[in-house]
Chain A
């Protein structure tokens, strides 16, 4: 059974701080997707990484896929209150749209 362990589970920080969220597995994934979910809404895709070692930047967010395609990280620079939400990583194994989701990191950024 493929599992994705996401850490930390909760993060409460002040505006302007940096943070990193980790997503780890013992399984290899063909892709790793990151989503953000706000209360009362469905997850919204932030990025997809597919190549081992790949780094993608989305404004203040930096996503990295591990060389062995078993882990990923999300780094936020100078967090803002608008970054508050539930961040979810999801691994794909190819062939189907069956994603394995991590438990999520609930981020709160205080002004």
Chain B
């Protein structure tokens, strides 16, 4: 069974630009969550999508958004990039929502210059 696939693996953007990250969950998994990992803040929850609906959102500004498609694939978008958005963005999928074990992808490393 293929794992969670995130593309691209690395991304370099300039302040003010926008970026879209993609996540393909494990086949059959309907929940996709996004986390931001930085050395200073650790792993922080961004949002969760289940059956194309955003179920919960973390404490991030509105510049961070996401969506989920009917095939459970998910994208997250960050607009008007700031230097502080440099981080590893991790996507995780699970079969159900609600304390389900998460299967993480290897992340997209975003660097904002």
Residues in chain A within 8 A of chain B (CB atoms): 30-31, 33, 35, 40-45, 48, 50, 88, 90, 92-104
Contacts and interface: CB of A to CB of B under 8 A. Distances in A.
Interface of B is mostly: strand
A43 B90 contact: yes
19 contacts: A31-B99, A33-B102, A35-B104, A40-B106, A41-B106, A42-B4, A42-B90, A42-B92, A42-B104, A43-B90, A48-B101, A50-B99, A94-B98, A94-B99, A98-B33, A99-B33, A100-B45, A101-B42, A103-B42
Contacts of B90: 42-43
Interface of B: 4, 31, 33, 35, 42-45, 48, 55-56, 58, 90, 92, 94, 97-107
B56 A96 contact: yes
Contact of A97 (B42, B44, B102, B105): B102
Given A96-B98, A97-B98, A98-B48, 10 more contacts: A31-B99, A33-B102, A35-B104, A42-B90, A42-B105, A50-B99, A92-B98, A94-B99, A95-B98, A98-B58
Given A96-B55, A97-B31, A97-B94, A33 B101 contact: yes
